[in-house]
Structure 1
Amino acid sequence: MRPPSGPAGLIAAALILAALPAQSVELASHRAAYRLSLDTSRPNQDVESASGAMLYEVVDRCGAWTVQQRFTLQVVGRGGQAYEMSSDYATWEAADGTRLRFRLRQATDGTVTKTIAGEARLEAVGGAGVARLTAPEDRELGLPRGTLFPMIHTVRLIEAARRGDRVLAAPLFDGTSDDGPQDTNTVIASPIPPDPAIGHAALRDLRSWRVRIAFFEPGGGSQPDYEVGIRYFENGVADELKMDFGEFAVAGKLAEFERLPGQCD
C-alpha cells in the first residue's frame, strides 16, 4: 500500500492508529550513553570530522514519563574551522499521551542559540489541542487532530512494528520547534530476531526493528528537513542511531546502558 502523503493523509493515519487497541508495549526506564561520530557511509560536503556524546534517560513515573537528553558534538570542517554544538532537552509526558511539558536549550560554542519551553494538551490521543509557549516568547500554537507527543509516538511505532506495518505517518509535537508539530513519516524494516551476541544483556532476548523517521514542515514539500535512523528494541531502547542534518550525518552507538527503577516497579 502506498504511504499516506500530505497533511490530510498523515492526520487520517494518526487518527486510525490512535483508535487501535494497545498491544501492551512496556517501555523500559533506562539511562543510555551513546558515542557519536561522523557517518562516513554518505557524502558529508564540507565536514571533515565530527565526534561527541549523547546521554538519554527515560523514567516511568507511574502515570507519566520523564525524559532528559543531553547532546554535545564537536565538528571540524575541511578548512580546519571547528565548532561545538550542544543541547539540553527535557520533557514530562502523561502516560495517556494527552499532556506534555517541555524545555529545550541549544548552544553553539557556548552561546545559546535557541530556547523553547512550555506545555501542550490534547483533547484525547488523536484529538486536537493547543501548545502554550513561555519561551522564546509567550505564544499559543494550535495542534491539529492526529498530533502525537513523543513517548506515545514511540509506543505507536512499536505497536505498528509488531503488527508488521511498514509505515507510520503522524504529526508529531515534541517541543523542539516553536512552529508547531512536524509531519513525520516512519518506514519500518523487517524484524530482527533476538541476538545472544548483543553486548547488553537486557536486550539479548528482544526483537528489534530498524526504522527511519523523516520530518517535514506541515504542508511542506516532498523533501524532509531532517531524518533519523534508529534501531528500536521492543522495550523502547535504541542501540543504533543515525542523524542526518543535511550537510552531514552522525552515527551513534550505544556505549553504556543501565536499567532504572520506575516508580511503578
Structure 2
Amino acid sequence: MPLRRRLIAAALTALIAAAPAGFAAEPGAEAMVGHRAAYRLSLDRVRENSDIARAEGAMLYEVVDSCDGWATRQRFQLRLTDRDGQEVETTSDYSTFETKDGRTLRFTLTQTSQGAVSQRIAGEAEVTPEGGRVRYTAPEAKEETLPRGTLLPMLHTIRALAAARANTRLLVVPLFDGTSADGAQDSTTVISAWQAPQAGRFPELAQLGSARMRVAFFDRNPAQGSNGGGASAPDYEVGLRYYANGVADELKMEFGDFTVDGKLQELSMLPNPC
C-alpha cells in the first residue's frame, strides 16, 4: 500500500507554518505565543476506488519563544490500513529554529516507515531581498536557490493572519519550511473572513479572533518560474483555523486519495522568557 510522497511533509507544513518575524517587528508578531498542542488524527473521507480503509494517529507540536527566534518541534505518527487489513505506520520528528526577523531557518526532519528511517532532511536557509539560498547537509550536501519573495513558515502565518484582519482573501508566495529536499514550493492561501471570539473547549482561545484558511502547495518548475499555483493541481492541500495567537485547530489534510482530520485535544501555553 504505497504512501503518497508528500504525506508527512503536508501535515508538517500544516502546523509548522505558525510564527513571527520579530526583530523587524512584523505587525502581529507580538501576538504569537509559545505553546504545546496535541492533536488526534483520524480518517475523514476517501475518494472512490481508494485503497485506504482506516487512518489514525497523533501529532504533538511545541513552539518555544527563545527571544531572538522561535524553536519548534513536531512529532507525527500516522497508521494507515488498507482494505485487505495491511497496515503501514509512518512517523516523523521535525525541528526548526527561525529567527524573528524571518531571515534564517535551521531545520531537521527524520521520517520513518515501519520503524526504518525512510528520509532525513537537514540544513539551513537564508532569505535575502533577492530570494536567498538553502544549504542542505542531508540527504546530501548541496545548495538550492530560493525565489524572490520566499517566506519562511513562521512569517507566512503572520502574514496570513494579517491578511485575514485586513479582509484580504488571497496570499500567493513561495514558501520554504525545510520539509522538502528540493527547495521552496509555491503556495496559495485562501483566507476566510476574520471571526469574532467564540466560546469553545479551550479557555486560552475563547477571547481570541480567528480565521479559517485553505493552503495549497505546488511543486515549483524552475524553467517556468513561480506560477502561484496557476491552473495545475496542487501537490497537497491543508485546511485549518488559526487563532490570533498562532494556535491552529480543526485541521483537514488532503492527500489526494484520502483526507485526514486533525482535532486539537490538549493545549498548554508556555511562559515567555524574554
Say whether residues 1:262 and 2:272 are aligned partners. yes
- Aligned partner of 2:233 in structure 1 is 223
Question: C-alpha displacement at 1:192, in angstroms?
Answer: 2.3
Tell whether the 8 Å contact from 2:46 to 2:52 is kept in structure 1 after alignment. Answer: no
- Aligned partner of 2:128 in structure 1 is 123
Q: Percent of counterpart pairs with the same letter?
A: 53
Question: C-alpha displacement at 1:77, in angstroms?
Answer: 0.5
Deviations 1:122-165 (A, max 9, x none): 125xx411110000010011111101110011111111111111
Amino acid paired to 2:250: E
Question: C-alpha displacement at 1:44, in angstroms?
Answer: 7.5
- Aligned partner of 1:5 in structure 2 is none
Q: State which of 239, 258, 262 in structure 2 corresponds to 1:252.
A: 262
Tell me the distance in 1 between the aligned counterparts of 2:166 and 2:68. 26
Question: C-alpha displacement at 1:230, in angstroms?
Answer: 0.9
1:203 aligns to what SS in structure 2?
Answer: coil
Tell whether the 8 Å contact from 1:87 to 1:106 is kept in structure 2 after alignment. Answer: yes
- Aligned partner of 1:200 in structure 2 is 202
Where structure 2 has 5 or more consecutive residues not aligned to the other structure, the ranges are: 1-20, 222-228
Tell me the distance in 1 between the aligned counterparts of 2:176 and 2:170. 18
Tell whether the 8 Å contact from 1:44 to 1:248 is kept in structure 2 after alignment. Answer: no
- Aligned partner of 2:70 in structure 1 is 65
Question: C-alpha displacement at 1:263, in angstroms?
Answer: 2.3
Amino acid paired to 2:93: D
Say whether residues 1:39 and 2:44 are aligned partners. yes
Tell whether the 8 Å contact from 2:172 to 2:186 is kept in structure 1 after alignment. Answer: yes
- Output the aligned Cα RMSD: 1.8
- Aligned partner of 2:27 in structure 1 is 23
- Aligned partner of 1:10 in structure 2 is none
- 1:16-165 aligned within 5 A: 22-25=26-29, 26-40=31-45, 45-124=50-129, 127-165=130-168
TM-score, length-scaled by structure 2: 0.85
Amino acid paired to 1:165: T
Tell whether the 8 Å contact from 2:46 to 2:257 is kept in structure 1 after alignment. Answer: no
TM-score, length-scaled by structure 1: 0.88
Tell me the distance in 2 between the aligned counterparts of 1:43 and 1:213. 23
Tell whether the 8 Å contact from 1:34 to 1:252 is kept in structure 2 after alignment. Answer: yes
Tell me the distance in 1 between the aligned counterparts of 2:247 and 2:93. 20
